[in-house]
Structure 1
Amino acid sequence: MPNILAIETSVTAASIALSIGDAPCTSKNFESHRQQNQLLFPPLQQLLELLPDGEKLDLIIIGTGPGSYSGSRISIAAAQGIAAAHACDVVGQSSFLATNTFLDKREAIAVGDARRGSFFIAEVPKTSLPQEPKLMSREDFDAKLTQESRSIFTLDSNIQFADGSSIPLEQPTAEKHILAWHMLSPEDQAVLRNTPPAPTYLRAPFITKAKPGHPLLRGKVNERK
């Protein structure tokens, strides 16, 4: 069995897990917030020190959310540095897969609040990669959930059904990422290996335009050089 490191920092309850051969996973948990760049590295170093002398990682898995963009980005950057030393691949894996719903092989849809008045739904097959999240209005979102017969879950504790009842909440973890990876087909694993890891963006980043009269619009920046 390969040596696999997994990092899940797209959620507040962050975790890191290391699987060495056939041995049980060793995990470290911590709260991920605005100090991810400080909180990630101590537990990461502790796990890497568990690798037997002369052994290296075969794969690093990063949870890509949807969730905290900055959390996923920091983990990807750290993983790429580690991968350079271990000569291994880094793959980005949807956090929808690191859930009990996926590990139990239940066909489901994952839902969440996409902000700016919109919501998303993503189909999560039993043992393969999830579909891209689809954005929709609250009205269409509620109508879709009313008609849905598959299992429904969310990674977002702030979202509810239209009647105010709670949508089942899942907590993705690094250890579940490793278990989910082993459930994927070789074809799906190849897709992830050949896709550069990146956070799951629900929409294009919002870019603030410069106000009229800003130096960038007047060409003043170049004139000062």
Structure 2
Amino acid sequence: MPNILAIETSYPAASISLKLGEQPTHSECFESHRQQNQLLFSPLKKLLELIPEGEKLDLILIGTGPGSYSGSRISIAAAQGIAVAHDCPVVGQSSFLATPTWLTGKPSIAVGDARRGSYFIAEIASHSLPQEPQLMERDAFDQKINQSSDAIFSLDPTLQLTGDQPLPQELASAEQHIEAWLTLSEENRKTQLNTPPAPTYLRGPFITKAKPGHPLLRGKVKK
């Protein structure tokens, strides 16, 4: 069994887990919010110190959301630094995989609020990588949900479905990232190993265009 470190900081309920071969998984949990850069490194250091002298990590898994972009980016940066010392790969893994529903192996749909008046749906086949999230407006979102017979879950605690349909709220965890990786097929693992780790973006970033003219001269009246 490989030595695997997993980090999930895409959500406020953050966690780090270390699996050393056949030993039980060691985990640290903390509330990250917007302080991942301050709170990540103490539990990370604690777990890294558990690695026996002479042993190295074989893999580092990072939860990529969709969730907090900054949380995922900080974890990716920290993991890449650790990976240099351990000469191991860093894999970005969708946080949808690190959930109880995905681990059951049932076909499922992950849903969430994509902000700016839109919602997303990501369809997931049994123990497979999720499809790219589809963005849609509320009416189309509700129609898609009502027509589906697959298990539906969300990592977003604020999202509510219309009517009386319950929406299971799930928590992605670092320990479940490790379990998901060990469950994936060799083909899906290879796909993830060959994909550079990056946060999951639901849409392209909004870029504000710069105003014309030199910043020091804007608003000044020419004489």
Q: Same fold per TM (> 0.5)?
A: yes
| Cα separation, partners in 2 of 1:63 and 1:210, compared to 1, 3 Å | same
1:59-78 matched pairs, under 5 angstroms: 59-78=59-78
**Which residue of 1 is the match for residue 83 of structure 2?**
83
Q: What amino acid is aligned across from residue 41 of structure 2 in structure 1?
A: F
For 1:211, what is the secondary structure of its paired residue?
A: coil
**What CA deviation, in whole Å up to 9, does each residue of 1:184-210 have, x standing for no partner?**
011110111110000000000111122
- Does structure 1 residue 42 correspond to structure 2 residue 39? no
- Compute the displacement of 1:32 (Å): 1.1
User: d(CA) in 1 for partners of 2:165 and 2:45?
Assistant: 41
**What CA deviation, in whole Å up to 9, does each residue of 1:86-109 have, x standing for no partner?**
000000000000000011111100
Q: What amino acid is aligned across from residue 87 of structure 1 in structure 2?
A: D
**Which residue of 2 is the match for residue 170 of structure 1?**
170
Instruction: Flag structure 2 segments of 5+ consecutive residues without an equivalent.
Output: 219-223
**Which residue of 2 is the match for residue 210 of structure 1?**
210
**Which residue of 2 is the match for residue 221 of structure 1?**
none
User: d(CA) in 1 for partners of 2:59 and 2:214?
Assistant: 47
| Cα separation, partners in 2 of 1:216 and 1:162, compared to 1, 3 Å | farther
**Which residue of 2 is the match for residue 139 of structure 1?**
139
| Cα separation, partners in 2 of 1:144 and 1:213, compared to 1, 3 Å | same
For 1:82, what is the secondary structure of its paired residue?
A: helix
- Compute the displacement of 1:125 (Å): 1.4
**What CA deviation, in whole Å up to 9, does each residue of 1:133-162 have, x standing for no partner?**
000011100111111111000000111111
User: d(CA) in 1 for partners of 2:211 and 2:200?
Assistant: 30
* C-alpha contact 1:210 1:217 (8 A) present in aligned 2: no
**Which residue of 1 is the match for residue 221 of structure 2?**
none
For 1:96, what is the secondary structure of its paired residue?
A: helix
More displaced 10-residue stretch of structure 1: 166-175 or 61-70 = 166-175
| Residue correspondences, number | 218
User: d(CA) in 2 for partners of 1:130 and 1:67?
Assistant: 15
- Does structure 1 residue 183 correspond to structure 2 residue 183? yes
User: d(CA) in 2 for partners of 1:173 and 1:106?
Assistant: 19
For 1:16, what is the secondary structure of its paired residue?
A: strand
User: d(CA) in 1 for partners of 2:49 and 2:67?
Assistant: 29
**Which residue of 2 is the match for residue 193 of structure 1?**
193
**Which residue of 2 is the match for residue 105 of structure 1?**
105
More displaced 10-residue stretch of structure 1: 165-174 or 33-42 = 165-174
- Compute the displacement of 1:213 (Å): 4.7
User: d(CA) in 1 for partners of 2:80 and 2:164?
Assistant: 42
* C-alpha contact 1:159 1:166 (8 A) present in aligned 2: no
Where do 4+ consecutive residues of structure 1 move more than 6 Å? none
